[in-house]
Each structure stands twice: as structure tokens, then as C-alpha cells.
Amino acid sequence: MSSCDTCVVRNRAICAGLDNQEIAALNTMGRRRAVSAGEPLIWEDDDSLLVANVIEGVLKLTTSTEDGREQIVGVAYPSDFIGRPFGQTSKASVVALTDARVCVFARNDFDRFAREHPELEHKLLERTLAELDRTRSWMMLLGRKTAPEKIATFLLEMSERLNETGCAVKLGPARRFSLPFSRQQVADVLGLTIETVSRQFTKLKNDGVIELPSRREVEILDRPALVSLAG
Amino acid sequence: MSSCDTCVVRNRAICAGLDNQEIAALNTMGRRRAVSAGEPLIWEDDDSLLVANVIEGVLKLTTSTEDGREQIVGVAYPSDFIGRPFGQTSKASVVALTDARVCVFARNDFDRFAREHPELEHKLLERTLAELDRTRSWMMLLGRKTAPEKIATFLLEMSERLNETGCAVKLGPARRFSLPFSRQQVADVLGLTIETVSRQFTKLKNDGVIELPSRREVEILDRPALVSLAG
DNA sequence: CGATGTGTTGATTGACTTCAATCTGGGTGG
DNA sequence: CCACCCAGATTGAAGTCAATCAACACATCG
């Protein structure tokens, strides 16, 4: 009985496209693990001992300065791959934002397996290239955009990313969604302070661009306005 | 007569480790191209038609907003790989900062060749993962560091990167080097304005941390101070 | 030697942060 | 059941860092 058989991200994760024998081999190497909200999975600057596929939930990748400033450098959704294969240390911490389930592998085992299975490495390469693209466009946001632009861009990105997590069918961007981030975490994504995030949110609400049914809920009332604000 | 035979980055670029037959095949696909300082090689949002290895010189990867703000999202040195394989469009422009020589491939050809040569894809994966690490640590700088910290971090990174370009032997960081960037370009790397960059440079000079023999030259007088300022 | 592009320096402004007070809502124990 | 608690969020006032605006310096090149 293979747990891969029942895996909901089986067709979207890097495992997609592997044959039954390969899946079976991967299955013996990996194991499921639950990570509850707030719990860390990987520590910055630690030896890179494990890698994983996200099955369910959302996790943040962060780097910190010695004096405690934090920057969220990536967000992992279901079917995303996390950890640092082929490297000695992990340059970012990984912490669950929501309760999550992941499929973890010892990095050594995974590295060896990947090198023997070019199709898997290719999937990983495609994913890494896409992540690099996304990360670079986020650099533009961090370096050159104003607070209002950052918030607008963030909300648009959220409304897209949080909808992909469903099924294979490509849905449009969500009109209403539940943020997996606290205000502080939004600030850590955008390179702002919690107060600035709060102020910008209420401004958008007062301007009739969004509605905020609860702390974590966002409803986009005027998407074109948001797009125009995103710069 | 293969031009790869005489290639100075042959043992550091992704071509390293390929056998003679593979090198010969790559050689028929690629061609050398000179790019003079300021000349673009790839345009943002254009179809991704070519990829390349940097043989000599330094190039910048940039993204821009509609209203002309620019952010440098990466810098490519000799032996680095540029362009977007396995993707329809390039998300960043590539422009030469200095006179440069590159070895370009039609993306189609390269993609096909790479898929048939797992060792090459593996090299590319390792490179892409390393670049992602570097990019993420730059996000921390952009989002959370102050102007003095940005400048100090930048100078330290320059003193390291500009020395790796030599030979395979691992040299220590350079004490003195020539920036491949104008003040405006330094600003575009750090998410600052040209005036702020200039002021921070002169402040470091007045504090005896660095010397500025000419506009492009930098000499590090007090590295520990710089490390401590980098935050 | 002027012309032009690049860099520096100064004065002022403004956006975001910081500091501080208050609010809110979900959970708990009396 | 509801008063209380408390972390998270909002709002306000004041401060600061970097941007902007503006003038000038310097080098390179016809």
C-alpha cells in the first residue's frame, strides 16, 4: 500500500511523470509528516538534512539578521518543493504558517535518487527556474515599489496563488480569500512594518477597493483599481 | 577546430564534465558573440529565444516598471549561465556592463540538448539553486537593511565576486577592485538613489573604512569595520 | 576650451518608521 | 454566561532616514 497512491499533489509535484517503480522507490525513502502552524521544519544555516514536498498547508521561507529583523523570502504551497538539495547548508528557515502536511526525504537519499532519475531532476530544474523568476520579480517590489504598490501587488498575488492550490483546472484569481499571514508576516513579506501594512489595508477599505470581513479575510471589490495601484 | 577547446571558462561553466563528443555537439550549436558595454542581449518579456554562457565581462539582469524604475535582479560573471531555458519568455533584461564575450545558443536547441544530457541539466540545476540562494539573501538586504548596511554588504560581496573570476584557485576577497557599476547602477542593485549611494561612499571614505582612488576603484582599508556595518 | 555625462554636496521634503495608546475579538476560567 | 484576559491589530503623534529638488564639481572628449 503506497501512500503516494493517495497523494493529492501526486500529479502536480515533482513526482508527476515518474513510473510506478520509481514512485515505489521514492515511497520507501519518504515519509509523511504533519507540521502544525508556527512549527519550524528547517533552520537557517543548519546542515541541509532534509527536503520535502508540500502536500497541504502553507509554509514560509525566511532569513533573519542577527538583531532579529526578518524577511520572508518565499512561500511554499501544496505541490511545492522545499529544502536545499545538492548543498551543504540551508540558507533559509522553513516554518509552517498553517497546519501542514509534508512528504519529507533525507537529503542524502533524495540527492542520490535524483541523480539517478533525470526526469525528476528536470522537474526540479523547471520548478527552481520558475521560483527564481518569481523571486526576482519580488526583488523589484522590495527595492523599488512604494508601500501602496507593495500592498496592491501582494493582494493580487495572493488572490492568484491561493486559488492554484485547488485542482488541476486553472481557475481565475480568487475574489475572496483567507490570508495565511498575520499582519506581521505580511510586513515581513513586503519589507514594511506592521503599522504601515495596517494603515494601507484600512486605506484600501475606505477607498472601496477591498473589504475586510475579518482579520484574515480579504475580498477584492475593485480589481482594476488594485491592478492600477500595483504599479 | 573547436572553439570550446580554447574556452577560458571551459572548466567552470556548465560545459564542465561533458565528454568530447558532447562538447563537439554543443560547439556546433553555439556561437561566440561580443557584446559591448551598455549593449542589451535579452529583453524583458520578450520570447526567450536564446541562452548563453558568459565567457568574459560582466552583465546585469534587470526588471523595470512601466514608469521607468529599474531594479538589478542579478549580475552575471564569467562562467555564469544567462537566459531562461524551458520557458516561453524571459522575465529580465540582460545588458552588458562591461565589454563582454558570451557563448550563445538558440534556446530550442539548448533545451533539446539539455534534456538529452542529464549531466548538463544537473550542472544547470546546481547553478540555479545557488543563484536562488544568493537572490534570497539579496531580498533580505532589499527589504530589511538600511542604506549604510546595504552599501557595506555590497562592497563586501563585490570584493568576493570580482576575485572568483580569475582562476580555479580560491583566492581570498580582493582588497582593491574596480567596480563594473556606475553610481546609478549601484543604486539599482541596492534599491537606493544615486545621491544616497554617493553620500554613503563618501561617509565610508571620511571614516577611513575605504579609499576611493577613482570613480570606479574601491580599496577596502578596514574590512572588519565593513563587516560590522553590513549588519 | 566649452560641452556633456557622471558624480558630489547641500537643503528640504515626505514616506515610512517608531513610539505609544487604544481597540478588538477569540478563548478561558470563575 | 459573561467578565476578564491578552495577543494581534488599529490608530495617532512624533521622529528619522532616505528621496527629491537643486546647484555645483569634475572628468572626458570633441
CATH of residue A163: 1.10.10.10
- Do B47 and B97 lie in one domain? The reply is yes
Domain stops at, among A138, A154, A188: A138
- Do B38 and B113 lie in one domain? The reply is yes
Residue A166 buriedness (CB in 10 A; 0-12 / 13-18 / 19+):
exposed
Asked whether B54 and B80 are in contact (CB, 8 A), the reply is yes
Q: Between chains, do B137 and A85 touch, taking CB under 8 Å as contact?
A: no
- Do A56 and A107 lie in one domain? The reply is yes
CATH number at residue A41: 2.60.120.10
CA nearest to B122 within chain A: A121
pLDDT in tens, B216-227: 999 999 999 999
- Lookup: cell for B73: 535582479
- Residue A217 lies in domain: 145-229
pLDDT of residue B168: 55
pLDDT at residue A17 greater than cutoff 90: no
pLDDT of residue B169: 61
pLDDT in tens, B40-89: 999 999 999 999 999 999 999 999 999 999 999 999 999 999 999 999 99
Which residue(s) pair with A60 in the sheet?
A75, A95
Interfacial B residues in 126-165 facing A (CB < 8 Å): 126, 128-133, 135-140, 142-145
- Do B115 and B178 lie in one domain? The reply is no
- Do B110 and B175 lie in one domain? The reply is no
Contacts of A80 in chain B (CB under 8 A): none
pLDDT in tens, A61-76: 999 999 999 999 999 9
- Lookup: cell for B198: 554617493
Cα A176 to Cα A59, A150, A180, A187, B20: the distances in Å are 21, 19, 13, 20, 57
CA nearest to A64 within chain B: B140
Domain stops at, among A118, A138, A158: A138
pLDDT of residue B1: 52
- Do A96 and A191 lie in one domain? The reply is no
Asked whether A191 and A151 are in contact (CB, 8 A), the reply is no
- Do A66 and A128 lie in one domain? The reply is yes
Asked whether A148 and A133 are in contact (CB, 8 A), the reply is no
pLDDT in tens, A96-152: 999 999 999 999 999 999 999 999 999 999 999 999 999 999 999 999 999 999 999
- Do A35 and A133 lie in one domain? The reply is yes
- Do A8 and A88 lie in one domain? The reply is yes
Q: Between chains, do A128 and B130 touch, taking CB under 8 Å as contact?
A: no
Lowest mean pLDDT of A148-157, A210-219, B158-167, B200-209, name the range: B158-167
Specify the number of domains making up chain A: 2
d(CA A80, nearest CA chain B) in Å: 15
Nearest CA to B136 out of A49, A180, A26, A71 is that of A71
How far apart CA A22 and CA A9 sit, in angstroms, is 16
Phi then psi dihedrals of residue A22, to 5 deg: -65, -45
How far apart CA A182 and CA A188 sit, in angstroms, is 10
Domain stops at, among A89, A106, A138: A138
